[in-house]
Amino acid sequence: MSEYLPIFILLLLATGFALGTIVLSYFVGQKTYEKIKLSAYECGMEPVGDARLRFSVKFYLIAMLFILFDVETVFLYPWAVVFADLRWFGFIEMVVFIGILLLSFVYLWKRGAFDWE
């Protein structure tokens, strides 16, 4: 148990600091509740309409496709790091990967998946 004593002390200090700053801010901080202070802030513009609007399915489709293509491009970084060790096999493998990625992109483009309308 003596090995865990420093961790326990650190946990107590961190918890004490967090609770102490919350309690101190409660007693020291100003408490002014005004209508403008409690209103929603949206980039300096007056909030208009209801927050529970329905979005088109196209919006979510484009968001998922963006994430999909973004994650696939992340695979290029480790490949670039070990490119010299992989030689021709790694190059051909990446050409096939990028080719499949490009074909899927063209297919989605032709199907109209990227149209906002």
pLDDT in tens, 96-113: 999 998 998 899 889 888
Query: Does the residue 102 lie in any domain?
Result: yes
Task: Give me the torsion for CA of 51, 57, 59, 63, rounded to 10°.
Answer: 110
pLDDT in tens, 10-68: 999 999 999 999 999 999 988 888 887 777 776 767 667 776 777 777 888 888 888 88
Q: Which residues pair with 42 in a beta bridge?
A: 45
Query: Does the residue 76 lie in any domain?
Result: yes
Cβ distance 81 to 73 under 8 Å? Answer: no
Q: Report the alpha-carbon distance of residue 65 to residue 56 in Å, rounded.
A: 15
Hey, is 50 helix, strand or coil?
coil
Query: Does the residue 116 lie in any domain?
Result: no
Give me the pLDDT at residue 60, please: 83
What CATH number does the domain containing 62 carry? 1.20.58
Give me the pLDDT at residue 75, please: 84
Extract the tokens encoding 60. Answer: 């979510």
Give me the pLDDT at residue 47, please: 67
Give me the pLDDT at residue 64, please: 87
Query: Does the residue 89 lie in any domain?
Result: yes
Query: Does the residue 90 lie in any domain?
Result: yes
Extract the tokens encoding 42. Answer: 């949206």
Q: How far is CA 111 from CA 38, 40, 107, in A?
A: 46, 39, 6
Query: Does the residue 49 lie in any domain?
Result: yes
Query: Does the residue 117 lie in any domain?
Result: no
Say how many domains are in the chain: 1
Query: Does the residue 20 lie in any domain?
Result: yes
Q: Report the alpha-carbon distance of residue 89 to residue 79 in Å, rounded.
A: 12
State the residue range of the domain holding 7: 2-111
